[in-house]
Structure formats: C-alpha cells, structure tokens
A and B are shown apart, each in its own frame.
Chain A
Amino acid sequence: MKLLSCPLNGPRNIEEFQYLGPLRGRPDPDALSDADWARHLFRAENRPGAMLEWWRHRPSNYVFLAERHTVTNAVIRTFDPSELEPGA
C-alpha cells in the first residue's frame, strides 16, 4: 500500500486521493503573445525533478499541495495552500 500524508487527515492510502495536476503560474493573457498563451493553456510541463502539485483528499474534499519528485516518485512534503510562499 502506498501512503500519502494529508495535511488535514494524516497518512492515508493513496487510493483516497485525486491528482489535480501541477501548480502553475497564472499569467495575464493580455501580456503574452498568442503562442505563449496557447502554450500555457495546452502544453503540460513534464520536467524531471521536484514539482509542486495539487492533490485532493476525496472523502474530505480537501485540496492541498504536495512536492513530489517526478523521477523517484518520492513525496518530499505536503502542505496546506495557505502555506504557499508568494511567487512559488
């Protein structure tokens, strides 16, 4: 059984969670070229290394952030979105 540690509910079976995708910036569409805006909308970043990702604990409908290494699949930390540093 793979466990993920939910900031609200503690360690739980990974099957209780839903992956919601990487944390992404929110650029101003008016300040970007069409090509860069299209890239933001339609291209998924898939770089190796530690990434911040949105996850949801389904039974409690709690959405939080996890830092996960995409090569080793190790979860480095999980935390509430209120703890996110500005500009992260």
Chain B
Amino acid sequence: MQATQTCPFFPGGAAEDVAPLLGQRDDLSVSDRSHWPRFGLKGPGSADWLSDAGVALPAPNRLSLSSGFTVLRLGPNDITLLGDPAAPEALTALCARWEAAPGPKGFSSWREEAWAWLHLDGRALEDALARLCAVDLRPRRFVPEAIAQTRFAEVDAVVIRRGGAAEVFFDIAASAAVLRTIRHGGGHP
C-alpha cells in the first residue's frame, strides 16, 4: 500500500521533463496524484474478503464511498480503494488486515505502483473531456457513481468524476504521453 517514492512527474522521475505541463492553468488544471494512497485487490475471493472486512461494495462498474475511502468496483472481483493522503488511516488499517489475513483474499493488483492518477479541473474541463474521451462524461449523463473504463488521451484508462472534477487512472509508464496529449487538446494540436 505504500506509495512509490519517486513518481514519474517528481524530480528524478521518468517524466520529469514533461512535469512543467502540469501546472495550474486557469482554464484546465492538471494535478498529479500518483503518490496518493490506494489499494487494489483482484481475483477470486477479493470481493468476499472486502465484504467480510466491512467494505460496502457497489455493483460492477460503479463507485461508492465507504468508511474513509472511495471504492471503485471495476469488475465482480476487481476492486480498487482510493485513499485520501490527509486521512489515510482507514486504508492503511485495511491493508494491514489484508496482509495478515490467511485467505482466500484475492491478490494485490498493485494499483499504487502500476497506475498514474491525474486530477483534472477547471473551466475548460468539459470541453477537454469531450475531446479526450469518446464516453459522454458530462455530469448530466455520467452519474456520480459511474465509472468509465475506456480510452482516454489515447491510452486505456479508468475515469471517474468527483466533486465536479475528473480523475483518470492509467498505466504509469504512459504518464508523459498522456499529459502531452491532454495539453495538446486531445492529440490533434
């Protein structure tokens, strides 16, 4: 569950040279949350183990708020929990409990290392999302508990919306390419 010490956009990271593109632009801010805590379980037993641990699971392809974290149910037995760095205790405790459990309990899907996590917000957000993703992510069509597992900025990604912003999870090795695509307006500059 420990976040990686060096994320791609960090100094010394693989996408360090692209990091200035993050920035806080007035119309579309992009911030890197790749170092934020999260925990993914996958495989037979993962949903049952989490339910037994008191995590309320939504239906597949839906998200919900549980005690202290957001639960992404990406499939019947593919679940990722998103933590908040300001209050990581609940997620840390759950991870420790999972590590100590005998199983069956699924296996770690290493979301904290394999996924990059970007947070997008700003006046131009809806326009940018429309150009970066074929799924209609406008709030009136994309309900708050929805998850889009689709193509975003020309890579496979998971997209959710919280508090009006959009959050995108994708292969961390594609960090630089995705940020360039976002900043160049959907890959068609």
Contact = CB atoms under 8 A, between A and B. Distances in A.
B61 A59 contact: no
Contact of B149 (A9, A13, A15): A9
Interface residues of B, number: 14
B156 interface: yes
Interface string A8-32: 1100110110000000000000000
Contacts of B74: 60
A58 to B, nearest CB: 6
Nearest to A12: B150
Interface in A20-77: 57-62
Contacts of A60: 61, 74-75, 78, 149
B151 interface: yes
Contact of A58 (B75, B135, B156): B156
B151 A15 contact: yes
Given A59-B150, A59-B151, A8 B156 contact: no
B151 A57 contact: no
Given A8-B60, A8-B61, A13-B134, A61 B151 contact: no
Contacts of A8: 60-61, 75
Interface in B140-189: 148-151, 156-158
Interface of A: 1, 8-9, 12-13, 15-16, 57-62
16 contacts: A1-B134, A8-B60, A9-B149, A9-B150, A12-B134, A12-B150, A13-B134, A13-B151, A59-B150, A59-B151, A59-B157, A60-B61, A60-B74, A61-B78, A62-B75, A62-B149
Given A9-B149, A59-B150, A60-B61, 13 more contacts: A1-B134, A8-B60, A12-B134, A12-B135, A12-B150, A59-B149, A59-B156, A59-B157, A59-B158, A60-B78, A61-B78, A62-B75, A62-B149
Interface of B: 60-61, 74-75, 78, 134-135, 148-151, 156-158
